Amino acid sequence: MGKAVEFVKINKYFPGVHVLKDISFSVEEGEVHALLGENGAGKSTILNILHGVYSEYEGDVILHGKKVAFKNPNDAILNGNISKVHQETMVVEELTVGQNVTLGYQPKKGLFIDFGKMHRDVDEILEELNCRFRSRDIVRTLTAGEKQMLAIAKAIYHHSNIISLDEPTASLTSKETEALFAVIRKLKADGITILYVSHHLEEIFQICDRASIMRDGEYIQTLEIKNTTEDELIHAMVGRSVSAVASRLKPCRAKDEVVLKVEHLSDNEGKYKDVSFELHKGEILGFYGLVGAGRTEVMRVLAGADRKISGNIYLKGKEIRGSWNSTKALKYGIGMLPEDRKTHGFNKLDSNYNNIAISSLEKYMSGVFTSDGKKLKNAEHFFQELDIHPNKPDYLTVNMSGGNQQKVILAKWMSTDIDVIIFDEPTKGVDVAAKAEIYRLMEELVEEGKSLIVVSSELPEAMGLSDRLIVMSEGRITKELTDREGFDSDAILNYAIGGN
Ligand SMILES: Nc1ncnc2c1ncn2[C@@H]1O[C@H](COP(=O)(O)OP(=O)(O)OP(=O)(O)O)[C@@H](O)[C@H]1O
pLDDT tens digits, one per residue of 151-209: 999 999 999 999 999 988 877 777 888 888 999 999 999 999 999 999 899 999 999 99
- Residues 404, 474 within the same domain: yes
- Residues 232, 264 within the same domain: no
Let me know: does 456 contact 430? Beta carbons within 8 Å. no
In sequence order, the 6+-apart residues with CB closer than 8 A to the CB of 430 are 39, 199, 402, 403, 406, 438
- Residues 234, 268 within the same domain: no
Q: Cα–Cα distances in Å, from 96 out to 12, 103, 136, 416?
A: 38, 10, 5, 45
pTM for this structure?
0.80
- Calculate how far, in angstroms, residue 19's C-alpha sits from the geometric centre of ligand 1: 7
Q: Is the ipTM of this complex over 0.95?
A: yes
Asked whether residue 232 is domain-assigned, the answer is: yes
- Residues 190, 85 within the same domain: yes
Range of the domain at 359: 258-496
Asked whether residue 250 is domain-assigned, the answer is: no
- State the pLDDT confidence band at 88, using cuts at 50, 70 and 90: low
- Calculate how far, in angstroms, residue 389's C-alpha sits from the geometric centre of ligand 1: 9
- Residues 208, 294 within the same domain: no
Let me know the angle formed at the C-alpha of 274 by 272 and 280, rounded to the nearest 5 degrees. Answer: 100
- Residues 234, 263 within the same domain: no
Asked whether residue 25 is domain-assigned, the answer is: yes
Segment 115-143 mean pLDDT: 93
What pLDDT sits at residue 339? 78
- Which of 211, 184, 216 is closest to 197 using CA atoms? 211
Asked whether residue 243 is domain-assigned, the answer is: no
- Residues 334, 472 within the same domain: yes
For residue 219, give the CATH number of its domain: 3.40.50.300
What pLDDT sits at residue 319? 92
Asked whether residue 28 is domain-assigned, the answer is: yes
Q: Is the pLDDT of residue 70 over 90?
A: yes
- Residues 151, 277 within the same domain: no
The answer to whether the CB of 80 is under 6 A from ligand 1 is no
- Calculate how far, in angstroms, residue 164's C-alpha sits from the geometric centre of ligand 1: 17
- Residues 358, 217 within the same domain: no
How much of the chain, in percent, has pLDDT values that exceed 70? 98
- Residues 223, 309 within the same domain: no
pLDDT digits (tens, 9 = 90+) for 421-460: 999 988 888 888 888 888 888 888 898 889 999 999 888 8
CA trace torsion 345, 347, 353, 356 (10° rounding):
-30
Asked whether residue 74 is domain-assigned, the answer is: yes
User: How many domains does the chain divide into?
Assistant: 2
The answer to whether the CB of 37 is under 6 A from ligand 1 is yes
- Calculate how far, in angstroms, residue 95's C-alpha sits from the geometric centre of ligand 1: 32
- Residues 441, 331 within the same domain: yes
Let me know the angle formed at the C-alpha of 366 by 363 and 370, rounded to the nearest 5 degrees. Answer: 65
Asked whether residue 126 is domain-assigned, the answer is: yes
pLDDT digits (tens, 9 = 90+) for 226-275: 999 999 999 999 887 777 677 777 776 666 899 999 999 999 888 999 99
- Residues 276, 352 within the same domain: yes
Asked whether residue 252 is domain-assigned, the answer is: no
pLDDT digits (tens, 9 = 90+) for 17-58: 899 999 999 999 999 999 999 988 999 999 999 999 999 999
Q: Is the pLDDT of residue 289 over 80?
A: yes
The answer to whether the CB of 304 is under 6 A from ligand 1 is no
What pLDDT sits at residue 172? 77
Report the alpha-carbon distance of residue 188 to residue 176 in Å, rounded: 18
- Calculate how far, in angstroms, residue 44's C-alpha sits from the geometric centre of ligand 1: 7
Q: Is the pLDDT of residue 385 over 80?
A: yes
Out of 23, 36, 44, 431, give the residue to mutate to test ligand 1, the one with the largest number of ligand atoms within 8 Å of its CB. 44
Segment 283-289 mean pLDDT: 95
